[in-house]
Chains A and B, each alone.
Chain A
Amino acid sequence: MAESRQALQTTGEKCHDPYLRCALYGAAQVALGVRGCCVLSHSPQGCYQLVGAAFGWQDADYTETLTLCTKLCEDEIVHGGEDVLARTILEAQELNVPILFVLTACGPEIVGDDVVAVCQDTSSRVNFRIVPILCAGFRGDQNQGTDIALEAILRQLVPEDGKKIPRSVLLIAPHANANPTWMGDLAWVKRVLAEMGCTVAATLTHDTALSDFQQVPLAEGCLVLSHDAGQKAADYLLQRYGIEQWCQGLPLPVGFTNTRRWLTELGQRLGAETVAERLISEGEKRVVEVCRRKGLEISAMHRTSAAIVADATVGIPLVRFITEDLEMILA
């Protein structure tokens, strides 16, 4: 019995979500959320396809956002790829980009390429900012890659403290989930915040202008829009700039009850309780009307058991949604 329990614990510790990609992918998602940037993948071209996938996930525009790859082959993987990295950075000068994010894959980090030193050496010879992000796949999954990149960007691009903007907020990791309609959810969050009189100081990251990073220390609060990644960034912002995390510990607004809780807390934070109550009433009325028209399968759901297959961002709110709003039982 003790052995089987130990085996279970060991398995749990080693259990990884098979749908998650590696840290390079998560870091590329964060970097490509910066509008008009250039992302250089210091990797073999196989790993580079992750950057392409992240490009699509962020809905980046290829006329303004560029991606490069050092396309490491046998020679560089055995003898190191610092030379090819330096050459690629210098050649990027022709692209007239404002900033270059250098992402590392497993190979160059294992072989010992000093990517940070190469970036420092070449920075005086180019007219753009270089931000190295050490995000080799062996450092973790894509969610850890998101945290690594957010930390690197916050440490390297955000200035010292400034005067706070009243009723302003940072939106963290809106892209860090498996929901293909995450951009619609982000637009909804921005809309309800605007209705409550709140200013979004910066989104970390989606369609984020480089100048938005100057606003980061000025925000009063932050909202982590993922249960999978972004918490480390929120902790860092609290420690470094005293930016308080709002709606911490609450499930994200998925479903009737979760959305009511989330908007109510925001309304209290922003002194906009009346607006929050109106948003809740209007939203619930719309949901009820749609459910009546489309037919809600109450008989199929009431007290029947269900299993959830989802990432944490959707899965955690779904637990409450299906048990409280749909009256189901978790299997």
Chain B
Amino acid sequence: MILTQGLFSLGSFNSSTETQEEVEMIAAQYDNAIYLGSPLRQPGIPQLNMTTITGYPQYGYQGIRNIARLMRVGMEQAAHPRSRLFRQVLYGE
């Protein structure tokens, strides 16, 4: 588990952009990394949406099943490009 600096500087657009850049940089160092977290980040690797309410609860037996399902969906959809609309809304690119 890697905690990034941007994770702790909450609440601003700049901190969000900083976190995105950090996650991208970390992901680029591994061949087979998986990102578990918010879909607000776009590291360009298989990604689990940990914040969707359809994945709750994330603890106990049901939580294990939910995480497994999210992981399966994340791997199955890994090849799909991220939305240009989302990226422009989030990062203005």
Q: Name A's B-contacting residues (CB within 8 A).
A: 256-257, 284, 287-288, 291-292, 296, 298-300, 302-305, 323-327, 329
Give the total of B residues in contact with A, Cβ under 8 Å: 22
Task: Note all chain B residues with C-beta closer than 8 A to A292.
Answer: 89
Contact of B83 among A299, A300, A304, A326 (CB under 8 A): A326
Q: Nearest Cβ distance between residue A288 and chain B, in whole angstroms?
A: 5
Interface of A is mostly: helix
Contact of A299 among B40, B70, B73, B85 (CB under 8 A): B40
Q: Nearest Cβ distance between residue A291 and chain B, in whole angstroms?
A: 5
Task: Note all chain A residues with C-beta closer than 8 A to B80.
Answer: 323, 327
Q: Which of B4-23 contact A (CB under 8 A)?
A: none
**B73 engages A327 (CB within 8 Å):** no
**B51 engages A288 (CB within 8 Å):** no
Contact of A329 among B73, B82, B85 (CB under 8 A): B73
Task: Note all chain B residues with C-beta closer than 8 A to A323.
Answer: 80
How many angstroms between the C-alpha atoms of A325 and B84 in the bound complex?
7
Known: A329-B73, A329-B77. A299 touches B82 (CB 8 A): no
Contact with A along B38-51 (1 / 0, CB 8 A): 11100000010101
- Whether a CB of chain A sits under 8 angstroms from the CB of B32 is no
Can you give 30 A-B contacts (C-beta < 8 A)? A256-B83, A256-B84, A291-B89, A296-B85, A298-B40, A298-B86, A298-B90, A299-B38, A299-B40, A299-B49, A299-B51, A302-B47, A302-B49, A303-B39, A303-B49, A303-B52, A303-B74, A303-B77, A304-B49, A323-B80, A324-B83, A325-B86, A326-B83, A326-B85, A327-B39, A327-B80, A327-B83, A327-B86, A329-B73, A329-B77
